[in-house]
Amino acid sequence: MAIISNRLTKEQYEQNFSDIHPPFENKTAAQVEANRCLFCYDAPCTKSCPTSINIPKFIKQISSDNVKGSAHTIFISNIMGAGCSKVCPVEKLCEGACVYNLLEEEPIPIARLQRYSTEMAMENNWQLFDRKPSNGKKVAIVGAGPAGLSCAHVLSREGVDVTIYEKESKGGGLMTYGIAAYKVTPQFCEDEVKYILSLGGIEIKYNQELGKNVSVADLQKNYDAVYLGIGVGVARKLDIPGEELEGVVDAISFIYDLRSKEYRDIPVGDKVAVIGLGMTAIDAATQAKRLGAKEVTIVYRRTEMEKPCTQVELDIAKLDGCGIIWLAAPKEVKGSNGKVTQLICSIMKPGEPDASGRRSPVDTGETFALEVDMIIKAAGQTPFEELVNGNQIKNSKGKIVIDNNCATNIKGVFAGGDAVNGGKEVVDAVQAGKDGAKAILGYLKLINN
């Protein structure tokens, strides 16, 4: 057993990481589905979209051969509508609420239709927004992820000059660095950022990290307002013996490497355990398998009833051949010669419901051992506690605290997205960016709110 790279041929890698949700082949295919849409009033799909895209409208616009209008309808609510059409867990959002579900019929493929319009807009570089003349106001945004880009786009449309400070060498944040490659390709992410920036008025300064190259105090001094969309950091520590052994990696770094290097250069074990069952855990498990791991086992401390990922995501993992052990909590990592050899798990049983209403797992005292050579930690992410404390930003265990108006404790400094909520979907961050922009426009007295 060993953690090695270059397990597969070029063709195998390509096949394993090809688009899991293929687009409509042509206009007819898209219109067949678009015409099924009932055009609901006060539509449940729209109400279930964190960015409130007017879904019936954009779908009818596909039907009526107004794809440009359709793309505008999507982007006015969600500037990352193209990426979201690929990565959103739509089965629990728009498509999950589609009224066809209540007829036991297939819901409208909203994501695929959204992809149809937005990709056409990107391919043709349709400029769907006019930027108001510059009003002289300057806003700094930290983080070119979904929250930052969304905030920037709204501000720039209103004539604000925006500068984004991004620690990585590419924009897109989680979309570019934190999501399974078979959902969005690195090329797509670059194109999406480029398309968003084509509005004008937004400059991204890459390789500029908060706390290293730039501070909140500096930004506050040099700009009329600041928005922090810094996201969250590495995977939460397990706090169990043996966690430091070679072969224990964190899912965020694992996926980051996958997204920034060639597939053949990503090492993966023969027998991999993934800890956690969120979207990131699924992305890590499936991709470990797709990189050529012989055996991947997801270890989750609760039952299937309480799973945080969607059924669709779980099915992807199952179809990829990943195993799942329910009611198992990591207790200890064992190794030899400094390398992982075993994951010892406590066998749990469902206990009383916790605050979220889910039954808390209770240790039965029994354990089992899983023979592994690699462990991927994916049980939630850690906020940048040190960083926000260092900048005197009020926080709760690292999560930035904001008021109803997206404002932090520091005057003129706003925040949103994963940095505030601790880690949600891309689409939630996009909405947070819009909310932040609205708050900033009010603060700068550019709109009344």
Partner 1 sequence: MADISSNFLGIKSPNPFWLASAPPTDKKYNVLRAFEAGWGGVVWKTLGSQVKNVSSRYSAVDYNGAKVMGFNNIELISDRPLDINLKEITECIKLFPDRAMIVSLMADNDRKSWHELIKKTEDTGAHGIELNFGCPHGMTERGMGATVGQDPEIACMVVEWVMEAATIPVITKLTPNVHSVVPTGRSVVKAGTNALSLINTIQSVTGIDLDTFVPNPNVGGKSVFGGYCGPAVKPIALKMLTTIAQDELTKKVPISGIGGISTWKDAVEFMLLGASNVQVCTAAMKHGFRIIEDMTEGLNNWMDEKGFKTVNDFIGRSVNTITHWEDLDINYHIIARINPDKCIHCGLCYIACEDTSHQSIKLDYGKPYNTYTIIEEECVGCNLCKLVCPVDNCITMEVHRKGDEYLNWKEFQRRGLPLNDH
The binding site for partner 1 (CB under 8 A) comprises 31-32, 34-35, 38-45, 47-48, 63, 97, 99-100, 102-103
Query: Is the distance from CB of 446 to CB of 137 less than 8 angstroms?
Result: yes
Query: Is the distance from CB of 370 to CB of 273 less than 8 angstroms?
Result: yes
Pick 52 or 127: Cβ nearer partner 1: 52
Give the number of other Cβ atoms within 10 Å of residue 410's Cβ.
17
Instruction: Note the Cα 447 to chain centre separation in Å.
Output: 30
Partners of 280 in the beta sheet? Answer: none
Query: Is the distance from CB of 207 to CB of 169 less than 8 angstroms?
Result: yes
How far apart (Å, rounded) are the C-alpha atoms in residues 418 and 411? 21
How far apart (Å, rounded) are the C-alpha atoms in residues 104 and 448? 45
Tokens representing residue 50 in the block: 């964190």
Give the number of other Cβ atoms within 10 Å of residue 357's Cβ.
7
Pick 39 or 368: Cβ nearer partner 1: 39
Pick 60 or 377: Cβ nearer partner 1: 60
Pick 60 or 259: Cβ nearer partner 1: 60
Distant-in-sequence contacts of 362-368, Cβ < 8 A, 24+ apart:
363/329, 367/331, 368/328, 368/344
Could you tell me the smallest distance in angstroms from the CB atom of residue 109 to partner 1? 15
Pick 102 or 369: Cβ nearer partner 1: 102
User: What is the amino acid identity at position 96?
Assistant: G
Pick 70 or 381: Cβ nearer partner 1: 70
Could you tell me the smallest distance in angstroms from the CB atom of residue 68 to partner 1? 14
DSSP 43-89: -HHHHTSTT---HHHHHHHHHTT-HHHHHHHHHHH-TTHHHHHHHS-
Give the number of other Cβ atoms within 10 Å of residue 220's Cβ.
17
Pick 48 or 286: Cβ nearer partner 1: 48
Could you tell me the smallest distance in angstroms from the CB atom of residue 88 to partner 1? 15
Could you tell me the smallest distance in angstroms from the CB atom of residue 113 to partner 1? 13
Could you tell me the smallest distance in angstroms from the CB atom of residue 27 to partner 1? 11
How far apart (Å, rounded) are the C-alpha atoms in residues 82 and 93? 16
Query: Is the distance from CB of 276 to CB of 380 less than 8 angstroms?
Result: yes
Interstrand relation of 328-336 and 339-353 (parallel, antiparallel or unpaired) = antiparallel
Could you tell me the smallest distance in angstroms from the CB atom of residue 69 to partner 1? 15
Could you tell me the smallest distance in angstroms from the CB atom of residue 310 to partner 1? 16
Pick 11 or 41: Cβ nearer partner 1: 41
Could you tell me the smallest distance in angstroms from the CB atom of residue 93 to partner 1? 10
Could you tell me the smallest distance in angstroms from the CB atom of residue 398 to partner 1? 30
Partners of 323 in the beta sheet? Answer: 297
How far apart (Å, rounded) are the C-alpha atoms in residues 297 and 307? 15
Query: Is the distance from CB of 18 to CB of 182 less than 8 angstroms?
Result: yes
Query: Is the distance from CB of 247 to CB of 3 less than 8 angstroms?
Result: yes
Pick 131 or 424: Cβ nearer partner 1: 424
Could you tell me the smallest distance in angstroms from the CB atom of residue 70 to partner 1? 16
Pick 109 or 242: Cβ nearer partner 1: 109
